[in-house]
Structure 1
Amino acid sequence: MTPPSSSRPGGAAAPDPSSLAPATPPPAKGLWLEDWLTVAIMALLALITFANVIVRYFTDGSFAWTEEISVFLMILLAMVAGSAAVARDLHIRIEYFADRGNARRRKAFARFGALMVALLFALICVLSIRVVYDDYRFEETSPGIGVPQWWYSVWLPIFSALITLRALGLFARQGKASFEAPADDTGEGTVTTKELA
């Protein structure tokens, strides 16, 4: 049963508040990669932590390598989750600026944000390649278990490049998405369903 629609003087129906939010861009393709990597990393973290707890409970020792591996996996998880959040347009934003103004302005702010994320992670990718090269050239080893440090650092440019591509994809999709006009102070507003070129 549909609830009765509230009417205004003059017979104009009140707009649905949910229809005044900015439209989300079309979904990104291939998000199964980030989703499955997140599941795998979380499972590894849980198994490593559980094994270490069991060993500590039944013996006087612990696995020395667990802390180093766990820290690496948590950093990797943050990068993977960051990529998924960029692709799904779920990163935090200052809503006071992002959700105000007309549809064209809101779209411009959204695209500007995606472009800045792409530029930031492209820069991180380029700079971290030098870090990996230095780790390899100087044969740096990890402080905990003594494996080559580049085994850990090589993932930073890889996932920075992935986030850059996801942000560029979001930028392109936002160009095709429609953004509805917000309500003004009286609660009235027009909903734009047409795509903005």
Structure 2
Amino acid sequence: MKRLEDIFVALNGWMLILMLSAMALIVGGNISFRYLTAHSFPWADEAARYLMIWLTFTGAGLILRLGGHVAITNLQDALPAKGQIVLRAAIVIGLLVFFGFMVHVGLQYAQRMQYQVSPALRIPFLYVYAAMPVGFGLLIVHLLLIARPFITAGAYKRPDESGTEASGPLPGGGNG
């Protein structure tokens, strides 16, 4: 199971790297083309915008598993150990319900937009709006993979050299 999780995380990370690279190449190429020829690619801004949307939604799961989203831990810190576990379990259940709802809403939006096409690229908006259910689906998978250590110890997966899990506030002053 650990190997499958590692493969899943690596694929998610490489997908983000490829999208960010494509976005950088498109924007950089468009800037170069504009300064060299005084013309721009008419589709470059649109493509970069849609890649940014996909980056945001598909990258949220990796950030979740690292504890990188905003968190206020004052209530948790004030509770006894058993209360902290109950609160974290309630948070996980609440997040799973919310993420599931957002997958449903995202699918509805994508379906409604399937016949409308983007102005420059002429692709159906279905492919743009699909980022929402895909991203929230990835959030569900990432949350399920980290739920047990998070609930029991408040631990997040951290990409450090030792491969150990960390807990507590994030480095840099933010609460985790």
TM-score interval, normalised by the smaller of the two chains: 0.7 to 0.9
The structure 2 residue matched to 1:151, chosen from 127, 131, 134, is 127
AA partner of residue 150 (structure 2): Q
1:67 corresponds to which of 36, 45, 66: 45
Q: Counterpart of 1:60 in structure 2: which amino acid? A: A
* Higher RCO (C-alpha under 8 Å, 6+ residues apart): 1
2:101 maps to a residue whose letter is: L
| 4+ residue runs over 4 A deviation | none
The code of the aligned residue for 2:94 comes to M
Q: Does residue 1:41 correspond to 2:19, yes or no?
A: yes
What is the aligned partner in structure 1 of residue 173 from structure 2?
none
Report how far residue 47 of structure 1 moved.
Answer: 0.7
1:167 corresponds to: 143
Give matches, 1:57-136, under 5 Å.
Answer: 57-136=35-114
Q: Which has the larger radius of gyration?
A: 1
Partner residue, 1:14:
none
Say if 1:38 and 1:80, in contact at 8 Å, map to a contact too: yes
Q: Partner of 1:93: helix, strand, or coil?
A: coil
CA distance in 1, matches of 2:36, 2:116: 35
Give the TM-score normalised by the residue count of structure 1: 0.68
Matched to 2:145, the amino acid is G
TM-score w.r.t. structure 2 length?
Answer: 0.75
Unmatched 5+ stretches in structure 1: 1-25, 181-197
Q: 1:41 to 1:77 in 2, by over 3 A?
A: same
**Paired AA for residue 71 in structure 2:** R
> How far 1:115 sits from its partner (Å)?
2.2
Which residue identity does 2:109 align to in structure 1? V
Q: Percent identity?
A: 19
Q: Distance in 1 between matches of 2:91 and 2:49?
A: 29
- Root mean square deviation, CA, Å: 2.3
- Residue 33 (structure 1) shift: 2.1
String of CA shifts for 1:66-96, please: whole Å, max 9, x gaps: 1111111111111122111222333221121
Distance 2:37 2:76 in 1: 55
What CA distance in whole angstroms lies between the structure 2 residues aligned with 1:146 and 1:130?
21
Cα shift at 1:179? 5.9
Structure 2 vs 1, CA of residues 98 and 91 (structure 1 numbering), >3 Å: closer, same or farther? farther
Q: Residue type matched to 1:165 in 2?
A: V
Give the number of aligned pairs: 151
Q: Distance in 2 between matches of 1:128 and 1:173?
A: 29
